[in-house]
Copies of this chain bind each other. A is one copy, B any other.
Amino acid sequence: MNPGKSSQKAALAKSAGSNLHRKLAQSIGNQILSGVYAPGAILPNEADWCRIYGASRTTVREAVKTLTAKGLLKSRTKIGSRVEPRENWNILDRDVLAWHMTSMNPQEFFSSVQEVRKILEPEIAALAALNRTPQQLRAITEAFEHMRKAKAGLNSVAPDVRFHLALLAAANNVFLTPFGIMIEAALTNMFEFTSTHNPEPDMFIPKHEAILKAVTRGNAKAARKAALSLLTDTDHTIAGLPAKAKKLKKA
């Protein structure tokens, strides 16, 4: 291994996950998502990355293959690796979303997310009311009970996420499941804000309960309405945030 490249390797140390190729993928992925390498740009070649990170070509190539599989890159002989256009990026991939969020304006993130949530989650709730299996209903119910017990605070985030994911699963449509990643990221990061600013954290419990009851009764219309109502409240909570944005943590 080539010593004397401590600057780049120090940045690597922060990246979690013990695998070196994973760290490289994270580092390069972050650079792409943050715009250091724009779509269409040619990345440093494999030999360069080896020098930069002090890693073997095998490892570098595995990192590149990871990014290629996520739609960020495409490699061609004699050309090198070129950054793909944004519409090819698998933004609903857990890693890609995390990288995206580290270099994104939180305001913009929440507004985009809420826009999509308001489109999808009411319909997800409606579908869940119609298509849920008994087992899926039980999962939703359990998540809600945990939410209620935890009340507000850090402990309520995990059950909250579980509630929404269980609802999503109960919709029983494969093409909706990818949104779980986005919902999870949204709720987890929202806590960073709402926990301190939300004047009435417990008001969310009845809203969730309304969804649960509608889904239990199989009332799609009521489920849709309840889900939308919850999201509208969430909107207001977000709108009450201070303008200066904290830095988002990754999912």
Contact = CB atoms under 8 A, between A and B. Distances in A.
A93 B71 CA distance: 8
B112 A173 contact: yes
A119 interface: yes
A213 interface: no
Contacts of A71: 93-94
Contact of A112 (B90, B92, B175, B180): B175
B91 A178 contact: yes
Given A65-B62, A70-B69, A116-B176, A169 B87 contact: yes
A177 interface: yes
A175 B92 contact: yes
Interface in A57-80: 58, 61-62, 65-71
A123 interface: yes
A88 B91 CA distance: 14
Contacts of A90: 70, 90, 92-93, 178
Nearest to A21: B65
Contacts of A92: 90, 92, 175, 178
15 contacts: A25-B69, A58-B58, A58-B61, A67-B69, A70-B70, A71-B93, A87-B169, A90-B90, A90-B92, A90-B178, A112-B174, A116-B176, A119-B123, A120-B120, A175-B179
Interface of A: 21, 25, 58, 61-62, 65-71, 86-88, 90-95, 100, 112-113, 115-116, 119-120, 123, 127, 165, 169, 173-180, 182
